[in-house]
Amino acid sequence: MTFEQSVEVSASPADLFALTQDYGRRLGWDPFLRSAELVGGAAAPAVGVRAWCVARSGLGMETEYVSYTPPRVAAVRMTRGPWVIGSFAGSWRFTELAPGRTRVGFRYALRARPRWLAWLLTPLLARVFARDTRKRLAALKAAVESGRLAAGKGEVLARR
């Protein structure tokens, strides 16, 4: 099942791309995560780099970048995750609408397991992911537009 959520943010695609893909700054705006880090000694995201993220619920997922094209798109696929998620892939897209105005879109595809119950569990997982994605996008917009968190390579101005 695939779904997409998006929001318009007053910042450039380059600045928003840099902010969202900076694991050192991720917890400054992302309310979904308890922790987020690149693994395997990687210093920055790139195709083939893996990341480990743990949700506030305690569930963790390892993803691998399959596309990394600043400032337009970053895409990942799950390499390891919670038992209930059979497959997961996601992309973040940054589209300039006007100077200093960007549409940030998250597109996710997922399938639940076990397979025999996926018909029931997949739509439920998709609803939860869609709700959390809307909250993440709203938090990104609020953090950047309030000035609490500078887009790009700036610093966190105030913690939540």
pLDDT, position 18 = 95
Among candidates 63, 81, 21, 69, which has minimal Cα distance to 45?
21
The answer to whether the beta carbons of residues 12 and 151 sit under 8 Å apart is: yes
- Secondary structure of 2-57 in HEC code, one letter for each residue: EEEEEEEECCCHHHHHHHHCCCCCHHHCCCCEEEEEECCCCCCCCCCCEEEEEECC
What DSSP designation does 156 have?
B
Instruction: Inform me whether the pLDDT recorded for 147 exceeds 90.
Output: no
pLDDT, position 149 = 75
**How do residues 45-101 score in pLDDT, each as one tens digit?**
999 999 999 999 999 999 999 999 999 999 999 999 999 999 999 999 999 999 999
pLDDT, position 49 = 98
- How large is the average pLDDT for residues 132-140? 97
Q: How does the average pLDDT of the chain come out, rounded?
A: 93
Q: Spell out the domains of the chain, with CATH numbers in brackets.
A: 2-145 (3.30.530.20)
Please give the model's pTM, rounded to 2 decimal places.
0.90
**How do residues 148-157 score in pLDDT, each as one tens digit?**
877 665 544 3
pLDDT, position 157 = 38
